[in-house]
């Protein structure tokens, strides 16, 4: 995958280069070993124990019992077909239905939120990449949602998504109202019976609500795309213009390939972070959703830090998630070889 | 010339390195060197809003005024109990628990062993029954684990029924006769009647505009369940008791809040707002809530007019639910710090501190004598009911599987309300008792009387 | 500077404003709520008009808590952390993208892997580590991790952008006699200016909004950042919405202004000339 000799300032002898490279990466390496690797190993060991986190003496080794409880099924029993993740060939009722619920919720959310978030961020960045007066104001405006403090955003959004009086449903009803005469004139039924979603109070519509919230805070990814767009060398555009390429052709042939690293970056991080979404479901969950917002890390948090405290089980959950994310990321990284375009040679 | 520059740079690097090293590790050395620390320091942690922060700051100031040599460090955790609990458990694990901590009684049992027994520090009781120097008996029981008093109660709250008089008035005008506020000894039948009278369609468009009662979640419905004579768990909180005719009656009453004669709004009808807002805005005339609602109401237009009624009496009597927050002292404190910490604990349960805490009306004082402070703000117009209700208050069941139980009950209740044509309370209770989540954590036998 | 027809300009402005309006709606709602008394703020249907703006809410929000103190604390934590995170993240990203060193591939796998573990599970080992170091109650648990690479996000961000910088730049600097650090600081970093600014902003915001770690690691009320301060307005029965919105908007204001001032730096970079040289005499 990586051939060290072909990257970087190749004139230096390899040993000196090794020292320099290691030196530059040293602070990060120290951080990742003490703050991530070692604690990860500790949590891996803990996943084979039963522990409530209060006294060291209470740690009890149970080997694979946590994983069996997590992933296992109770034979001779029937899973509930009311659960959204139910399918017919399940070998019985799961030992932990909430695990499967959490896994289902998180993956569904992720598959919707990541592409939509990327598309929105890219479109916003393209919109902002023009030279107009007052662009500074617009850029700030579009970025502000990302900045607004978490809990305040939650309050704001829970009102906006209020099924009866929120502005989102008001907009939807306005659209229905506009469509109604048109449809009636064309001979169809009017829009009177068309449903308006209950958003955060319905098991089905709560995830779309969260997806929309995620798209609204696309400001972070937008900044990265903006920086990428600004870094495309003007010479390439000039060359394309000389060749007579129109706007769309320029976008497809010049812009898009040049920003593929940014897309790649946002995609991987989008997958990784959306699968670990925590604070929004934590703040927005309620009983009416019937566990619709029980996301994976939220479930993990509940197991670890709420009664009855089961830290070993939570660590088993963490490592299962690790495996899932690693799988998805590997697929994305492998695919990156085909569509990501770098200026310099060498993949990754 | 280059030699000099290198030396200067080296000196700069060395100085910066030393400074950073000092900044990083001076605290480490300090931390391990004087583990014994200051004998006159008392570390006290609590949670809550900014009001709570200021109230406790006042308590601390009063304590320090009485004990000039002692100093209390207020380790406040902003917000409510969840993250405070997480932090406290980290502190227990690493041995850095503060000397005195505020605790909720629900999760107390699982951490009780880390606190010192305080049997010797109960306020001195005189021979008279109902002495003002006594702590509430039920509250004391909360923090009594395995025969030792591991904590002392500080403040608590029971559930009563708040009434919005503007709603009563509006309904009275609509119906043409006055609807009286609930009397002190009203029954479940009276409750039902009042709620129906309060549920009105003012403008005649077929949609109800005002509702009599906010249908509470089951935890707030516990007073009614108990008043029917039913129960959820037994005294040891290990056996499932939510079955039998009394339980069915309680669940049926809950169901009938919506069908066939609706007195409680469906979530869609109140735009999914929370109970407090529904009450405040007059959409719902009555709701179940605790004393913590009072400081909130005091800042609104209902401040001088809202009323509070006792829980209506039923076949099982009149019962309401109470929960308590308490204070506990860390175990194995060194001798000299212990005296200071004990002094603080005793002070918090003394009339002066209890008075400071009670004055905000956010919670009931555990010390009986402080009741006068609790009722001071409104002259007892409303607040005295909470004091009176202490005589018929029961503790909320305390079990490490509370969250599971809560989820299961909510799930089944919601299904009952959704399929009201197809399932009966008896069926719902049977399904609930058969739910694997319940069966895993509680002993489920056939329907038994308490 | 292409000339654009009048129609296109107007159309662009219209589109920008429309999207902007959608984006800014929640903030607008927050502003409205912050000017209402509690009764009105909780009323439904939520009112679009404010009968009489209650600026007292802002005074209350600022007066109840040591607001300025909290903001300064947040400013300190976020600034120091952002600087450290960007510096060490850029160094590590540069090392991964441009320098050869032994074990780079393994460490890159570790980098990606470190993203995939939910941080909640690492809480206990972290707490025990910081407690052993005696850092509980200080800002160190918040700041030091930022200076140790600032997390995988920053490293990956810089890695991606340094890969796009043409090798000729580094080679030209080497020919001019630049050492490793000079190449990095004088040539590569300025070339990646948009990314640097982006990373600074994102790191700053991340540390500004963080409330979980300050809650666990800080004990003294006077050291609280504003993220913890805002939590004091929430009760178990709902919150003082109007005060909370007022406080949130006030805490947002300096961030917005700072962003407005420095976002023009996002437009510089390789676009115009692509030629940034190394001057050894500087």
Q: How far is CA B286 from the centre of its chain?
A: 20
Average pLDDT over residues A49-74: 89
- In terms of DSSP bridges, do strands B393-395 and B320-329 run parallel, antiparallel, or are they unpaired? parallel
- In terms of DSSP bridges, do strands B284-289 and B160-163 run parallel, antiparallel, or are they unpaired? antiparallel
Judge whether B313 and B293 are in contact, CB under 8 Å.
no
| Min Cα–Cα distance to chain A from B161, Å | 23
Cross-chain CB nearest to A305 (options B86, B217, B402): B86
Cross-chain CB nearest to B271 (options A52, A54, A165): A165
ipTM: 0.83
Residue C84 domain flag: yes
Q: Please say if the pLDDT value at position B103 is more than 90.
A: yes
Q: Lowest mean pLDDT: which of A145-149, B161-165, B221-225?
A: A145-149
pLDDT tier, A262 (very low <50, low <70, confident <90, very high otherwise): confident
Maximum distance among all alpha carbons in chain C? Answer: 71
Q: Give one DSSP letter per residue of A288-309, joined into a string.
A: GGTTTT--HHHHHHHHHHSSSP
| Average predicted confidence (pLDDT) for chain B | 87
Q: Which two tokens stand for residue A330?
A: 């590997």
Chain A contact for C234 (CB, 8 A cutoff): yes
Separation between Cα atoms, residue B355 and residue B339, nearest integer Å: 23
Q: Do B300 and C38 touch (CB under 8 A)?
A: yes
B226 sits in which H/E element: helix B218-227
| Average predicted confidence (pLDDT) for chain A | 82
Residues in chain B with CB shorter than 8 Å from the CB of A309 are 89, 110
Separation between Cα atoms, residue C119 and residue A276, nearest integer Å: 9
**Chains touching chain B, criterion 3+ CB pairs below 8 Å:** A, C
Residue C223 domain flag: yes
Q: Do A155 and C112 touch (CB under 8 A)?
A: no
Q: Lowest mean pLDDT: which of A102-106, C11-15, C72-76, C210-214?
A: C11-15
Q: Lowest mean pLDDT: which of A31-45, A68-82, A100-114, B168-182?
A: A68-82
pLDDT tier, C274 (very low <50, low <70, confident <90, very high otherwise): very low
State what percent of residues in chain A have pLDDT above 90: 22
Q: Which two tokens stand for residue C218?
A: 């800080």
pLDDT tier, B163 (very low <50, low <70, confident <90, very high otherwise): very high
A196: nearest CA in chain B?
B268
Q: Do C148 and A27 touch (CB under 8 A)?
A: yes
Q: Where are the beta strands (DSSP E) in B28-96?
A: 41-48, 71-78
Higher pLDDT, B272 or B78: B78
Give the CATH number for residue C101. 1.10.3720.10
Q: Which two tokens stand for residue B450?
A: 């308490």
Q: Please say if the pLDDT value at position A14 is more than 60.
A: no
Separation between Cα atoms, residue C13 and residue C62, nearest integer Å: 37
Average pLDDT over residues B248-255: 93
pLDDT tier, B328 (very low <50, low <70, confident <90, very high otherwise): very high
Give how far Cα A254 sits from Cα of A56, A165, A239, C8, Å: 59, 46, 10, 22
Cross-chain CB nearest to B301 (options C39, C124, C228): C39
Average pLDDT over residues C33-48: 70
B406 sits in which H/E element: helix B402-418
A55: nearest CA in chain B?
B93
Residues A114-149: tens digit of each pLDDT = 999 999 889 888 888 877 777 778 887 887 777 765
Q: Lowest mean pLDDT: which of B39-43, B373-377, C199-203, C263-267?
A: C263-267
Average pLDDT over residues A44-48: 93
Q: Lowest mean pLDDT: which of A173-187, B43-57, C111-125, C240-254?
A: C240-254
Higher pLDDT, C99 or B104: B104
Separation between Cα atoms, residue B87 and residue C216, nearest integer Å: 6
Residues B332-361: tens digit of each pLDDT = 888 888 889 999 999 999 999 999 999 988
C239 sits in which H/E element: strand C238-239
Residues in chain C with CB shorter than 8 Å from the CB of B78 are 215, 224, 228-229, 231-232
Mutate one of B79, B84, B91, B95 to test the C interface: name it (highest C CB count within 10 A): B79
Separation between Cα atoms, residue B346 and residue A119, nearest integer Å: 62
Higher pLDDT, C49 or B193: B193
Residues C54-63: tens digit of each pLDDT = 888 888 888 8
| Min Cα–Cα distance to chain A from C171, Å | 6
Interface of A with B in 97-156 (CB under 8 A): none
Separation between Cα atoms, residue B145 and residue B62, nearest integer Å: 31
pTM of the predicted protein model: 0.85
Mutate one of A3, A23, A28 to test the C interface: name it (highest C CB count within 10 A): A28
Cross-chain CB nearest to A54 (options B82, B93, B410): B93
Separation between Cα atoms, residue C118 and residue A279, nearest integer Å: 12
Residue C34 domain flag: no
pLDDT for residue B250: 94
**Chains touching chain C, criterion 3+ CB pairs below 8 Å:** A, B
pLDDT for residue A15: 59
Residue C280 domain flag: no
Q: B62: closest CA among B293, B291, B282, B359?
A: B359
Give how far Cα B269 sits from Cα of A170, B73, B285, C93, Å: 16, 49, 15, 55
Residue spans of alpha helices (H) in chain C: 6-34, 38-41, 56-64, 67-98, 104-115, 123-132, 140-147, 152-162, 167-175, 180-182, 189-191, 193-209, 212-217, 226-231, 241-262
Q: Please say if the pLDDT value at position B431 is more than 50.
A: yes
Q: Which two tokens stand for residue A49?
A: 């124990």
Residues in chain C with CB shorter than 8 Å from the CB of B75 are 219-220
Q: Please say if the pLDDT value at position A73 is more than 70.
A: yes
Expressed in angstroms, the distance from the first to the final Cα of chain B is 95
Residues in chain C with CB shorter than 8 Å from the CB of B27 are 133-135, 138, 140
A308: nearest CA in chain B?
B400
Residues A291-309: tens digit of each pLDDT = 889 999 999 998 988 878 8
Q: Do B93 and A53 touch (CB under 8 A)?
A: yes
Higher pLDDT, B231 or A87: B231
Q: Please say if the pLDDT value at position A342 is more than 90.
A: no
Q: Please say if the pLDDT value at position B62 is more than 90.
A: yes
Separation between Cα atoms, residue A110 and residue A107, nearest integer Å: 5
Q: How far is CA C10 from the centre of its chain?
A: 33
Q: Please say if the pLDDT value at position C112 is more than 70.
A: yes
pLDDT for residue A156: 73
Q: Which two tokens stand for residue B52?
A: 């709570």
Separation between Cα atoms, residue C125 and residue C131, nearest integer Å: 10
Residues in chain B with CB shorter than 8 Å from the CB of C45 are 271
Residue spans of alpha helices (H) in chain A: 14-32, 38-46, 65-71, 97-128, 135-147, 150-160, 167-185, 206-216, 219-230, 234-242, 247-250, 256-275, 279-284, 296-305, 311-339
Q: Do C128 and B75 touch (CB under 8 A)?
A: no
Q: Do A140 and C263 touch (CB under 8 A)?
A: yes
Residues 6+ apart with CB under 8 A from C3: none
Residues in chain A with CB shorter than 8 Å from the CB of B272 are 162-164, 198, 200-201, 288
Three-state DSSP at C50 gives: coil
The number of folded domains in chain C is 1
Q: Do A163 and B436 touch (CB under 8 A)?
A: no
Residues in chain C with CB shorter than 8 Å from the CB of B76 are 221
Q: Do C101 and A19 touch (CB under 8 A)?
A: yes
Judge whether A341 and A258 are in contact, CB under 8 Å.
yes
pLDDT for residue C242: 79
State what percent of residues in chain B have pLDDT above 70: 94
Mutate one of C228, C238, C243 to test the B interface: name it (highest B CB count within 10 A): C238
Average pLDDT over residues C150-174: 82
Cross-chain CB nearest to A308 (options B85, B268, B400): B400
Q: Please say if the pLDDT value at position B186 is more than 80.
A: yes
Judge whether B322 and B156 are in contact, CB under 8 Å.
yes
C229: nearest CA in chain B?
B78
pLDDT for residue C271: 40
Average pLDDT over residues C241-255: 81
Count other Cβ atoms within 10 Å, centred on residue A103. Answer: 20
| Torsion of the alpha carbons at C92, C93, C96 and C100, rounded to the nearest 10 | -70
Separation between Cα atoms, residue C90 and residue C92, nearest integer Å: 5
Residues B357-379: tens digit of each pLDDT = 999 888 999 998 888 889 888 88
C121: nearest CA in chain A?
A315
Q: Give one DSSP letter per residue of A145-197, joined into a string.
A: HHHS-HHHHHHHHHHHT-TTT-HHHHHHHHHHHHHHHHHHHTTS--STT----
CA triplet A191, A288, A212: central angle to 5 degrees? 60
Give how far Cα B200 sits from Cα of A28, B212, B261, B385, Å: 67, 8, 12, 28
pLDDT for residue A241: 82
Find the domain containing C181 and state its range.
66-267
pLDDT for residue A12: 46
What is the number of alpha carbons within 13 Å of residue C43 lying toward its C-beta?
17
Q: Which two tokens stand for residue A150?
A: 């978490």
Q: Please say if the pLDDT value at position B400 is more than 50.
A: yes
Residues in chain A with CB shorter than 8 Å from the CB of B400 are 307-308
Residue C38 domain flag: no
| Average predicted confidence (pLDDT) for chain C | 80
Count other Cβ atoms within 10 Å, centred on residue A151. Answer: 21
Q: Please say if the pLDDT value at position B450 is more than 90.
A: no
pLDDT for residue B448: 40
List the domains of chain B with CATH numbers: 41-156+322-380 (3.40.190.10), 160-321+399-444 (3.40.190.10)
Q: A169: closest CA among A203, A188, A197, A132?
A: A197
φ and ψ at residue C140, rounded to 5 degrees: -60, -40
pLDDT for residue B355: 93
Average pLDDT over residues C137-154: 89
Residues in chain C with CB shorter than 8 Å from the CB of A333 are 112
Q: Do C233 and B49 touch (CB under 8 A)?
A: yes
- In terms of DSSP bridges, do strands B211-213 and B284-289 run parallel, antiparallel, or are they unpaired? parallel
Place of tokens 């740690």: A59
CA triplet B317, B157, C44: central angle to 5 degrees? 100
Q: Please say if the pLDDT value at position A246 is more than 50.
A: yes
Q: B41: closest CA among B334, B352, B326, B346?
A: B334
pLDDT for residue A348: 37
pLDDT for residue A31: 92
Q: Give one DSSP letter per residue of C147-207, joined into a string.
A: HTT--HHHHHHHHHHHTTS-HHHHHHHHHTT--HHHIIIIIIHHHTHHHHHHHHHHHHHHH
Residues in chain C with CB shorter than 8 Å from the CB of A342 are 163-164
Residue C213 domain flag: yes
Residues in chain B with CB shorter than 8 Å from the CB of A165 are 271
Higher pLDDT, B150 or B280: B150
């Amino acid at each position: 995958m990586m051939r060290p000799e072909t990257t970087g300032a190749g004139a230096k002898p390899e040993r000196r280069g090794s020292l320099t490279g290691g030196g530059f990466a040293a602070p990060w390496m120290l951080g990742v070993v003490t703050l991530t690797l070692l604690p990860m190993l500790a949590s891996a060991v803990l996943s084979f124990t039963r522990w409530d986190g209060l006294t060291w003496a209470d740690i009890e080794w149970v080997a694979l019992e946590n994983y069996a409880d997590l992933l296992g099924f109770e034979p001779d029993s029937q899973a509930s077909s009311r659960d959204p993740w139910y399918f017919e060939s399940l070998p019985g009722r799961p030992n932990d239905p909430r695990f499967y619920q959490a896994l289902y919720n998180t993956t569904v959310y992720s598959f919707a939120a990541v592409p939509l978030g990327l598309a929105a961020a890219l479109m916003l960045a393209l919109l902002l990449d023009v030279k107009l007066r007052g662009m500074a104001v617009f850029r700030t405006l579009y970025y502000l949602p990302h900045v607004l403090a978490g809990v305040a955003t939650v309050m704001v959004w829970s009102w906006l998504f209020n099924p009866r009086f929120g502005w989102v449903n008001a907009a939807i009803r306005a659209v229905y109202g506009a469509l109604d005469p048109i449809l009636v004139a064309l001979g169809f039924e009017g829009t009177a019976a068309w449903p308006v979603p209950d958003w955060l109070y319905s098991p089905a519509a709560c995830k779309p609500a969260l997806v929309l919230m995620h798209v609204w805070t696309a400001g972070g990814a937008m900044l990265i795309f903006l920086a990428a767009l600004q870094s495309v060398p003007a010479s390439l555009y000039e060359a394309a213009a000389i060749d007579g390429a129109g706007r769309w052709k320029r976008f497809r042939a010049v812009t898009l390939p040049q920003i593929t690293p940014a897309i790649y970056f946002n995609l991987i991080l989008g997958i990784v972070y959306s699968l670990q979404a925590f604070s929004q479901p934590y703040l927005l969950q309620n009983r009416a959703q019937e566990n619709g917002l029980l996301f994976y890390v939220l479930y993990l948090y509940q197991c670890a830090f709420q009664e009855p405290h089961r830290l070993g089980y939570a660590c088993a959950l963490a490592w299962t998630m690790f495996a899932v994310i690693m799988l998805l990321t590997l697929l994305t990284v492998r695919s990156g070889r085909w569509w990501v375009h770098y200026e310099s040679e060498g993949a990754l | 010339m280059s030699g000099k520059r290198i030396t200067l740079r080296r000196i700069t690097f060395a100085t910066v390195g030393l400074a950073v090293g000092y900044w990083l590790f001076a605290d480490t050395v300090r931390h391990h060197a004087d583990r014994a620390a200051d004998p006159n320091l008392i570390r006290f942690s609590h949670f809550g809003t900014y009001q709570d922060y200021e109230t406790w700051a006042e308590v601390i100031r009063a304590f320090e005024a009485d004990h000039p040599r002692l100093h209390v460090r207020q380790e406040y955790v902003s917000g409510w109990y969840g993250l405070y609990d997480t932090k406290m458990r980290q502190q227990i694990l690493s041995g850095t628990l503060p000397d005195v901590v505020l605790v909720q009684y629900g999760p107390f049992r699982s951490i009780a062993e880390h606190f010192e027994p305080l049997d010797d520090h109960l306020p001195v009781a005189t021979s008279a029954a109902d002495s003002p120097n006594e702590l509430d008996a039920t509250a004391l029981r909360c923090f009594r684990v395995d025969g030792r008093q591991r904590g002392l109660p500080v403040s608590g709250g029971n559930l009563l029924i708040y009434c919005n008089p503007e709603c009563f008035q509006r309904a009275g005008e609509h119906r043409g006769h006055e609807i009286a506020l609930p009397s002190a000894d009203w029954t479940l039948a009276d409750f039902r009647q009042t709620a129906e009278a309060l549920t009105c369609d003012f403008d005649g468009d077929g949609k109800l505009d005002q509702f009599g009662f906010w249908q509470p979640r089951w935890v707030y419905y516990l007073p009614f369940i108990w008043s029917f004579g039913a129960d959820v768990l037994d005294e040891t909180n290990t056996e499932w008791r939510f079955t039998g005719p009394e339980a069915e009656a309680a669940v049926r009453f809950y169901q009938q809040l919506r069908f066939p004669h609706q007195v409680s709004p469906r979530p869609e009808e109140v735009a999914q707002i929370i109970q407090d807002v529904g009450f405040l805005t007059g959409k719902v005339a009555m709701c179940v809530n605790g004393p913590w609602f009072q400081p909130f109401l005091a800042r609104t237009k209902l401040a001088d007019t809202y009323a509070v009624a006792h829980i209506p009496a039923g076949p099982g009597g009149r019962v309401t639910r109470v929960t308590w927050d308490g204070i506990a002292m860390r175990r194995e404190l060194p001798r000299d710090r212990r005296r200071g910490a004990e002094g603080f604990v005793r002070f918090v349960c003394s009339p002066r501190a209890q008075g400071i805490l009670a004055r905000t009306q956010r919670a009931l004082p555990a010390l009986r004598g402080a009741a006068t402070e609790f009722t001071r703000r409104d002259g007892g117009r409303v607040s005295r009911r909470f004091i009176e209700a202490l005589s018929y208050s029961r503790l909320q069941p305390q079990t490490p599987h509370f969250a599971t139980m809560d989820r299961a009950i909510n799930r089944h209740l919601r299904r009952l309300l959704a399929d009201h044509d197809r399932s009966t309370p008896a069926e719902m209770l049977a399904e609930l008792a058969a739910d694997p989540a319940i069966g895993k954590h509680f002993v489920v036998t056939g329907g038994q009387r308490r | 500077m292409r000339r654009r027809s009048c129609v296109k300009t107007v159309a662009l402005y219209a589109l920008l404003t429309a999207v902007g309006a959608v984006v800014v709606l929640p903030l607008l709602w927050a502003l409205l709520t912050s000017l209402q008394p509690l009764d009105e703020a909780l009323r439904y249907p939520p009112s679009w008009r404010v009968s009489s703006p209650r600026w007292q809410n802002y005074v209350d929000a600022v007066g109840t808590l040591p607001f300025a103190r909290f903001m300064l604390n947040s400013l300190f934590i976020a600034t120091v952390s952002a600087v450290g995170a960007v510096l060490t993240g850029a160094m590590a990203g540069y090392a991964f993208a441009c320098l050869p060193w032994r074990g780079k591939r393994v460490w890159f796998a570790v980098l990606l892997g470190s993203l995939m573990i939910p941080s909640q599970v690492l809480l206990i080992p972290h707490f025990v580590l910081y407690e052993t170091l005696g850092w509980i109650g200080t800002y160190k648990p918040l700041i030091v991790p930022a200076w140790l690479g600032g997390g995988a996000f920053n490293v990956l961000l810089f890695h991606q952008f340094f890969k796009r910088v043409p090798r000729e730049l580094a080679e030209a600097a080497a020919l001019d006699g630049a050492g490793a650090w000079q190449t990095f600081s004088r040539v590569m970093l300025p070339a990646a200016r948009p990314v640097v600014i982006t990373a600074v902003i994102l790191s700053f915001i991340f540390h500004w909004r963080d409330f979980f770690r300050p809650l666990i690691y800080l004990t003294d009320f006077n050291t609280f950042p504003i993220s913890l301060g805002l939590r004091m307005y929430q009760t178990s029965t709902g919150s003082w919405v109007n005060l909370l919105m007022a406080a949130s908007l006030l805490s947002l204001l300096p961030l917005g202004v700072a962003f407005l001032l420095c976002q023009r730096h996002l437009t510089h970079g390789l676009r115009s000339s692509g030629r940034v040289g190394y001057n050894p005499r500087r």
